[in-house]
Structure 1
Amino acid sequence: MFDWIQHMANWIVYDLLNMTQGLHLSEALNFFIYDTVKILILLLVVIFIMGIVNSYFPIDKVKNYLSNHKLYGLEYLMASLFGVVTPFCSCSSVPLFIGFVRGGIPLGVTFAFLITSPLVNEVAIGLFIGLFGIKTTIIYVISGILLGTISGIILQKLNLETYLTPWVKNVLKNAQKEQDIFIAEKQTLQQRLPIIWKEVLNILKGIVPYVLVGIAIGGLMHGYIPEGFFETYMNKNNWFAVPIATILAVPMYSNASGILPVVQVLVAKGIPLGTAIAFMMGVVGLSLPEAMLLKKVMTLKLIAIFFGVVTLCIIASGYLFNVLL
């Protein structure tokens, strides 16, 4: 499917630039060109398609439905599934998280959305299919949804509402509600497309820098890190590889599209897929910038509990992936 991109990358590096095959720099540059073109195409197609879907799937309706119906625990799953169709990084998910709190939705349900949204969305799914195949993508999606659902239930059971800051009521009380650009719902698809395309460009503008940085890091790792380097320290026989990878990832910050190229190279270099994905989940799902944003609505104790529960669930997912794949 992407063979033409590889041919193009080979032509640019080895013919146009006349670089020698097998050198660290040429291999790194070849990887960078190939993955950049492939991932940007995937991003453009997937985000545009989901933009059309989201235009017929208003956020307010979801919030109202979750607030007004007794779903016997299914609301956590529904919030996680809603997170799947929102292409946000952890920090971008925070405004919607605040909207959920403002709408009176239970805190555990809002956490389920906040956790799943950056981990599993159409961008991550599209890239996962291109990089790792259908089977791995299905397992990843299911585990990500379950991670958000289970974490949300656990956090709700802890009765953490008292740890929300007073700032929440004062600021959110005056916050303007998000307006649905398709309020009338009478607009034709042709009328919606310019708005959707504008949103696609805005999303791409926000995530392309992360994509390029992630691919650049992946390219350097691909070209310069020796075979077996990671396998020596983070192989399946190392029981602590998954928690170490997860904990080290938490201070970092990227989104799925930015970190997936790095994960691809880690796997190629010998790290078990579950360990690499645990690292990715830690980078994407938990970050210091996210913690700083959440500090506006949560006390430090609540943030610590949130990060702790999610970290433990990510570690469990990493071990599960290593068993299944």
Structure 2
Amino acid sequence: MAIFGFINDQLLKMTWLSNLVRTLVENVFGLDVSGRLGGSIHFFIYDVIKIFILLSALIFMISYIQSFFPPERTRKILGRFSGIQANILGALLGTITPFCSCSSIPLFIGFTNAGLPLGVTFSFLISSPMVDLASVLLLASIFGWRIALAYVTVGLVLAVVGGTIISRLRMEDEVEGFVYNNMDVAYEEETLSVKERIGYSKDQVKDIFNKVWIYVLIGVGIGAAIHNWIPQSFIEALLGQDKWYSVPLATFVGIPIYADIFGTLPIAEALLAKGVGLGTVLAFMMGVTTLSLPSMIMLKNVIKPKLLGTFIGIVTVGILIIGFLFNAYGHVFI
């Protein structure tokens, strides 16, 4: 446990980096990190560098794994299963695919086009932006392993349950007709060499980094402001876990925001430190990653209003239930 704790602190939480930035702020800038300005600068520099380092390393590793599961192979794997097993597998495969909901939608179209059950594709669509292997380690680096694993578990459960419900409702006719075109197209599975997989992983790091860096900076900036400039009493009065409306408020506030989990983590970190309930924080993160307005606009072009409304309703209710439960029992994980 001592060795694990050392590795966790030095590699994930990067306490060495925190100490280095503290020295920089105090000795070079001449600011006290316990003060508002010094604390904000320390929070911003430390979190930005830590997230960028972890983000680059994790995306590379996950992209290398993902290179073994191209869309055509994923379709074949999912096609071998049915029922709740297929939903579970769809949710799990979502953890090694794109990191935001907008980039998950093209894969959703491909899976549906290939004739996979609608419920399975929705299990994938829910889990893909909400839960991925990178988020586990990034969450652990900020909140600890208990909260990280709890978040991943409830995210996968929501994906499986949501996909199962949609499957039972039999709403295949609510998918736009063009999605089902060319269902008989045969896909050739491409075999990559180690060098090609490394090249693919490097390209993914560059591509995803270019897409998310601005959201990370914005998220860390907001987190620094919340952490050092907004009084805890104000945050607790607005979003304290004793407030019944905090979970739905956090969920719906997150919907207009377009970001992925990497941009929401610094905000969630600051909110949790200010006394906001764990369930409220998780609801905010899930609302941003799964129900963002740009993603829903894209999805509206693929499925009809009835299915879109059903999807939004199922995910929203699931997030609210998760939020209320974790607000009630979150002390177990902290």
Q: Please, what TM-score do these two structures have when normalized by structure 2?
A: 0.89
> Match for residue 19 of structure 1?
31
Partner-residue secondary structure (3-state), 2:69: coil
For structure 1, the residue ranges without an aligned partner over 5 or more in a row are none
Q: How far apart in 2 are the matches of 1:72 and 1:148?
A: 14
1:195 partner amino acid = Y
Deviations 1:71-102 (CA, angstroms, capped at 9, x unpaired): 33210010000011124211111111111111
Matched, 1:312 2:312: no
Matched, 1:60 2:72: yes
2:254 partner amino acid = A
> Match for residue 22 of structure 2?
10
Q: How far apart in 1 are the matches of 2:317 and 2:59?
A: 31
> Match for residue 184 of structure 1?
191
> Match for residue 179 of structure 2?
168
How many residues of Structure 1 are paired with residues of Structure 2 in the alignment? 318
- 1:135 and 1:221, CA in 2 relative to 1: closer, same or farther beyond 3 A? same
Equivalent residue for 1:232, pick from 228, 237, 241: 237
Does 277-286 or 2-11 show the bigger shift? Answer: 2-11
Equivalent residue for 1:260, pick from 265, 270, 277: 265
1:254: how far off? Answer: 1.0
Matched, 1:50 2:62: yes
Does 21-30 or 280-289 show the bigger shift? Answer: 21-30
Question: Is the 1:230–1:269 contact (alpha carbons within 8 Å) kept by the matching residues of 2?
Answer: yes
Q: Please, what TM-score do these two structures have when normalized by structure 1?
A: 0.91
1:4 partner amino acid = W
Partner-residue secondary structure (3-state), 1:73: helix
> Match for residue 82 of structure 1?
93
Question: Is the 2:247–2:323 contact (alpha carbons within 8 Å) kept by the matching residues of 1?
Answer: yes
Question: Is the 1:47–1:122 contact (alpha carbons within 8 Å) kept by the matching residues of 2?
Answer: no
> Match for residue 29 of structure 1?
41
- 1:179 and 1:268, CA in 2 relative to 1: closer, same or farther beyond 3 A? farther
Question: Is the 2:100–2:260 contact (alpha carbons within 8 Å) kept by the matching residues of 1?
Answer: yes
Q: Which has the higher contact order (CA 8 A, sep 6+)?
A: 1
Amino-acid identity (%): 36
Matched, 1:286 2:298: no
Partner-residue secondary structure (3-state), 2:241: coil
Question: Is the 2:93–2:124 contact (alpha carbons within 8 Å) kept by the matching residues of 1?
Answer: yes
Equivalent residue for 1:194, pick from 199, 213, 223: 199
Question: Is the 1:123–1:257 contact (alpha carbons within 8 Å) kept by the matching residues of 2?
Answer: no
